[in-house]
Amino acid sequence: VIQKCIEQMPPDSVTFIIKAVEAEAQKMASHMYGCRIVQRLLEHCASHQLQNMLNQILGSIDKLATDPYGNYVVQHMLEHGRVDDKRIIINVVERNIVEFSRHKCSSNVVEKALEVATVGEHAAQLEVERGNLMNKVIGEPGEPNPPLCQMMDDRFGNFIVQRMIEHARGAERDRLRLQLQASVEKLQSSSHGKHILNALKKESMA
């Protein structure tokens, strides 16, 4: 019923719902039903109406990203949020890239961050954050165990590597290809690695 109210009523008429959510925004965002209400608010209300709620959520991205319900709220903010909100979330993803990529819930947030920063509405304004995220995963030249190597044989992390292959471009694409080609033997001996090799072939990077 509350979701329908948010969808059908004028945004100015749902202030009472916003106030109730603001009282415990992080708790609501990680609740089975509360997360849906937060998502509807993100879709139907202006950012200035939701400022207190957004600030609470943005301060809890590391916890919400790994939460079974909270991760959907974070993905929704990446989809519907302001460009500054997206920057904050992508920076948190970058700082926690290995942990997030190897976690069932937050790996979905990483995928969404890559997608939004590459082909999303604000992609042009997120070039710096996108580049930093890709570089963090690929690692510095000579880095002994870059995040990419820690992710590619993981049951969730390998999907992130596949998305990176899909979204990589320019110099980062070449660096990614070289890193993966250097690990071909390891990838061939792993069921998860074979998915990455197939993605390389599909993108003509093998």
Helical spans, DSSP H, in 96-203 = 97-101, 106-119, 127-138, 147-151, 157-167, 170-181, 184-188, 191-202
Residue 206: its pLDDT value, please? 65
Name the CA dihedral angle for 122, 178, 171, 103, rounded to a multiple of 10 degrees.
Answer: 20
pLDDT for 14 equals 86
pLDDT of residue 204: 83
Q: What is the pLDDT of residue 108?
A: 98
The structure's pTM equals: 0.93
Give the pLDDT score at 104. Answer: 98
The predicted structure's pLDDT at residue 1? 58
pLDDT-flagged residues of the chain (< 50): none
* pLDDT digit string, tens, across residues 38-88: 999 999 999 999 999 999 999 999 999 999 999 999 999 999 999 999 999
Q: Are 131 and 97 in contact (CB under 8 A)?
A: no
Here the tokens at position 118 are 């590459």
